[in-house]
Structure 1
């Protein structure tokens, strides 16, 4: 401690105050009324969520579930969390001896669901701590996102708000560099697939209703699988959207594509043609190409689901997924899918400023990396500056093409919470030029 130079923290900077708040409070709810929606759509978490969805959509186009894609050891460890959750589901499913004439079946299932939720809370934190780096300080935050991904133990339902929490979990894994760029495809097609499979079992086992959202355009428990399902198909275009209800097409491709598996599941569980059991989805699938289907689903998801109060009223925010507003927000990230993407890759001739950079989806994280706030800045140590001044690997060169927007290197969004970095340097005591990188 003696070799550390310190600041005068009698008048702490805004950065020290924010660090202190995160250390004391942890993840908290922020959207408490309709007036908070404006803050939500201007927040870092909102922009990061859309960037993650869009960049993952580009990475998985043309990738089939049955074909090889990179699966890291870290990804396998995260998937093992769901092995335990599946086991808990079997262990705490309502059994025949539980049924009593004095208690309704719905009450028995509700009671069993609450028991499963209690065990899940413990399991998630224990297994997550085992799965990720032991020294990772974001275990609690990530665990809080994950535990809210499996429904609501109070209202006993499941909806897009729970799916959003799992999105926060996935984005947080990449922002904290627990998962790397090479894990992008596996996170969507493997880890997210395990999540959807478990959600279906939960819904069936405990008869959970859909958390009604009047703005949601798809009458289902989740929305994102449809979006990523369309992204998968946008590259090869093996069949048109209007053909996807044909029995032969479903049989041939249900194991390859997320969308086909979704349609088969809807038809089996609801017992009818798509036009009868999911009319709005059937209307969207009348669009000629999969890239156009994706664009329609994306527009509806952002406007009607992600920006809805019912979706975010129970959402929590912390460091990795921050509710802090972007000082100079850039345009929202959008996925550009085939045939545009293929044409660009073949020609290699940029048509505008955004396309002046080459793009390699395998080496770029699907969401911006988080520059962690270490406790040193709260305690007032000057050495902490060097950590924040370093340039994020999510640099201007990488971001230009990935998110299709011009990013200024001096913009606050590229160095979260540190727009006033110079103020910290000016407040230092007895510092020399050599103290600053």
Structure 2
């Protein structure tokens, strides 16, 4: 099993269960402190989650056609992606859940975060979900045996209900996205998706089910102004999602013949440049066919201002010179570090009989790192902590670093770039998000207010965004500057 330090591409598939003999249990919360996070990283559930992600990721890479020089790339709405009956049914289920929004319209009046009508939508969904699962899922995986106390449907329902956000906190984040991934993983384990050798079932899951799910979530966020759950703000990759950046970068990577020859550098010949995420015209074009740009497009829909300002991590990644395969590899490692290894994200993940809270006998001992060390101890309060994205380097005490945890070498003083992302300086006139009549509207939580200055300083840059350069002045003559505060005309190498 992959450790938390290195996550190689896996060629395995998660195992299926013998339904007739399987004893289902109601999934329950098991992660209550930092030690539990460490146990999770060595558990069977963690191994299965990673394996499933690698399955899906490998399936979406462009494929070389045997016996010819042609290459098949997979895009959103691709007519060449054959959707099995269960994928078509799941898409219809998501459509039915979307339609319920009309029955719970948002409360009128200005509201910064969380429209209370989301609770009404959530309650309707919980009430109807058992019947919807009966209608849209194969009966053979839902029917309990005569001796079973808990049915497969009960486990599936727990993960699906947890994938729409929190009705209590009126928020949504990557932990809820993980719950939907587990729901699909449960279906795989129950044999809902017949295994094939060419990745067609996994492609159907990514393009035919996960993308419609993301569309539903974006509709919920816009309709009910859901707050980002556990968001790091500009210090995080995205306020709500992570999976589309993994699968979307795979779509744009070099073609493969099989999962065993996945490249770690390069791009598909006609792939857009990673830097094009800051070009609104390219984003609007590519979001129709690529999951990465579809996620970027949603950011354009809900945020105003220069892209480098409201999404500095994505902007930094857009400077990667080694291509989309390099970005894909980095995204996989970042997901492991920033989602699966973080207490605020995984603390609500429930464990049942399909994703098991048991130690994986093949797991290596989880080494203490900046992520597990910063989790709450058993004696700490149970309230959700707001942990900083990065802290002092364990290798060089007192040195501040935001270097990604999988990066080799020592810490960089004041560095903010992921080690696989080249330093990316914004242009003199960064592209702003379109606004105005007929244009996408900004999210209620989007603010154009600059970040507060550092203690004892006057720069409006994020405290960690120095890159070893002197802060540029915020004005040029009497005209306010739109350049990144850390951009310098003569940057140091």
User: Normalising to structure 2: TM-score of the pair?
Assistant: 0.58
Aligned in 2, Cα 1:250/1:58: closer, same or farther, shift over 3 Å?
same
Counterpart in 2 of 1:33?
33
2:293 matches 1:293: no
Aligned with 1:31: secondary structure?
coil
2:200 matches 1:194: no
Aligned with 2:139: secondary structure?
coil
2:342 matches 1:323: no
Counterpart in 2 of 1:150?
164
Aligned with 1:212: secondary structure?
coil
Q: Mapping of 1:294-373 within 5 angstroms?
A: 294-329=328-363
Aligned in 2, Cα 1:331/1:246: closer, same or farther, shift over 3 Å?
farther
Counterpart in 2 of 1:226?
245
Among residues 311, 318, 330, which one is paired with 1:278 in the alignment? 311
Among residues 87, 90, 109, which one is paired with 2:99 in the alignment? 87
CA distance in 1, matches of 2:311, 2:320: 15
Aligned residues: 306
Counterpart in 2 of 1:121?
126
Counterpart in 2 of 1:211?
229
- CA contact under 8 A between 2:42 and 2:365: conserved in structure 1? no
Aligned in 2, Cα 1:191/1:35: closer, same or farther, shift over 3 Å?
same
Aligned in 2, Cα 1:32/1:258: closer, same or farther, shift over 3 Å?
same
CA distance in 2, matches of 1:158, 1:108: 10
Aligned with 2:180: secondary structure?
helix
Q: Residues 39-75 of structure 1, C-alpha deviation per residue, up to 9 Å, x if partnerless?
A: 1111111111111111211111121114220111111
Aligned with 1:52: secondary structure?
helix
CA distance in 2, matches of 1:91, 1:51: 38
- CA contact under 8 A between 2:75 and 2:290: conserved in structure 1? yes
- CA contact under 8 A between 1:266 and 1:274: conserved in structure 2? no
Offset of residue 106 of structure 1: 6.3
Aligned with 2:228: secondary structure?
coil
Q: Mapping of 1:101-120 within 5 angstroms?
A: 105=111, 109-110=115-116, 112-120=117-125
Q: Residues 162-201 of structure 1, C-alpha deviation per residue, up to 9 Å, x if partnerless?
A: 0110110111111111123332111111211111111111
2:273 matches 1:259: no
Long gaps (5+) in structure 1: 1-18, 333-437
CA distance in 1, matches of 2:206, 2:306: 28
Give 4+ residue runs of structure 1 displaced > 4 Å after superposition: 19-23, 104-108, 213-216
Offset of residue 214 of structure 1: 4.5
- CA contact under 8 A between 1:84 and 1:123: conserved in structure 2? no
**Structure that is richer in helix per residue:** 1
CA distance in 1, matches of 2:168, 2:281: 43
Greater RCO structure (CA 8 Å; 6+ sep): 1
CA distance in 2, matches of 1:168, 1:120: 19
User: Normalising to structure 1: TM-score of the pair?
Assistant: 0.65
Q: Residues 251-279 of structure 1, C-alpha deviation per residue, up to 9 Å, x if partnerless?
A: 44221111122222212321233212211
Q: Mapping of 1:15-94 within 5 angstroms?
A: 25-62=25-62, 63-67=74-78, 68-94=80-106
Offset of residue 246 of structure 1: 2.9
